[in-house]
Amino acid sequence: MVEDFKTKVRSSSKKKRISHINNVLRLGIWLCLATSSTLVVLCAIAYISSSDVFLTKQIEIKGCNHVEIDEILPLLDLEEGDNILSWDITNARQRILGNPWVKDVSISRSFIPSSVEIQIHEHFPAATLEFDDKRYLISKNGKVFAPAPEQTVGFIIQAPDYTPTDARQELNDILKKAIDAVKLIETKGLATDHVTIESGGRMKILLQNGISLVFSGELTPVKIHMALRTLNEIKPQQGTTMYLTCEDKIILRARGSHGS
C-alpha cells in the first residue's frame, strides 16, 4: 500500500515520445496555417485579377503642349479594361521620360473608379543652338533636349569654334550662362540679336542696336551696369565691341580699329 503513493519516475523514452508528439502537433498546426494563408492569398489574387473593380476605366493625360498625347499613350502599355494593379508604373514612367520633350512626369492611379492620371512636365525651349552644323533646342537651364524645327525658337546661340572638353556637362554649363546673360540684359531694356560662343568659352552677345558685349564666365550685374552707363554717356556707334572682362573697367573697340 505504501508503494502505491510513491512518486513514479517517468522513463527517458516516455519523455522523448511526448516531446516528439508535441513537435508533430506544432508542425501540423504551422502547416495548416501556411496552407490557409496560401489559399487566402490565391483567392485574393484570383479576385483581384478577375474583378471589374480593378479594371481601368479612364486614362487622362495632362500637360501636353509640344508632345502629342498619341505619343504618350503607347508608352504607358495600358489600355482601358486592363487590370490597374498589375500595371508597372515604374517602367511606364521611364518610357515616358525617354521622350526628349519630357522633363518630368508624375503618375497617379485611383480605384473608385479605377483610373490613371499622367501629368507631363515639358522642357521650355529658351533658345536655338547652332552647333556642329546642326540645330538644337535648349531649355532655360541650358540643357540641349531636342532637334530644333526649321523655325527658330527664342534667340540663336552659335558655337562654330567651340570645342568642349566634356561634351555634355561643360556645354550645358556655358549655355546656361549664355541664357542667364541674355535674361539679365533684357531686364535692362536691351534686345539681343544672337550669342556667339567663341573658342575657350568666351561669349559675344550682339545687341539689336549693333553693339557687341564680350565677356568670359558670367555676366554680372556690375558689368552690365557699366555697359549701360557707357551706352548712355558715350553712345558708341554701331559695330563697337565692349569688352567686359573686368569688374571695374570696359574696353571699347570700334569696328575696323586696332586700338583700345
Q: Are residues 205 and 143 in the same domain?
A: yes
Q: Are residues 180 and 88 in the same domain?
A: no
Is residue 75 in a domain? yes
pLDDT for the residue numbered 201: 83
Q: Using the 3D structure, point to which of 89, 122, 155 is the last residue of a domain.
A: 122
- Side-chain half-sphere exposure of 103, counting CA atoms within 13 A: 16
Is residue 9 in a domain? no
Q: Using the 3D structure, point to which of 104, 122, 140 is the last residue of a domain.
A: 122
Is residue 134 in a domain? yes
Q: What share of the chain is helix, strand, coil (3-state, %, to 5)?
A: 40, 25, 35
Q: 159 near 187, Cβ under 8 Å?
A: no
Domain count, the chain: 3
Mean pLDDT of each 10-residue bin along the chain, 260 residues long: 50 66 72 65 50 83 92 92 89 95 93 89 94 90 90 90 67 91 93 90 92 92 91 91 87 67
Q: Are residues 141 and 241 in the same domain?
A: yes
pLDDT for the residue numbered 4: 52
Task: Return d(Cα 182, Cα 65) in angstroms, integer.
Answer: 25
Q: Are residues 209 and 98 in the same domain?
A: no
pLDDT for the residue numbered 62: 94
Q: Residue 82 is part of which domain span?
A: 52-122
Give every CB contact of residue 258 below 8 A, 6+ residues apart in sequence. Answer: none
pLDDT for the residue numbered 46: 47
Output Rg (C-alpha) for the chain, integer angstroms.
36
Q: Are residues 37 and 92 in the same domain?
A: no
pLDDT for the residue numbered 27: 73
Q: Are residues 143 and 240 in the same domain?
A: yes
Is residue 258 in a domain? no
Q: Are residues 141 and 202 in the same domain?
A: yes
pLDDT for the residue numbered 209: 92
DSSP H or E segment with residue 60: strand 58-62
Is residue 147 in a domain? yes
pLDDT for the residue numbered 107: 94
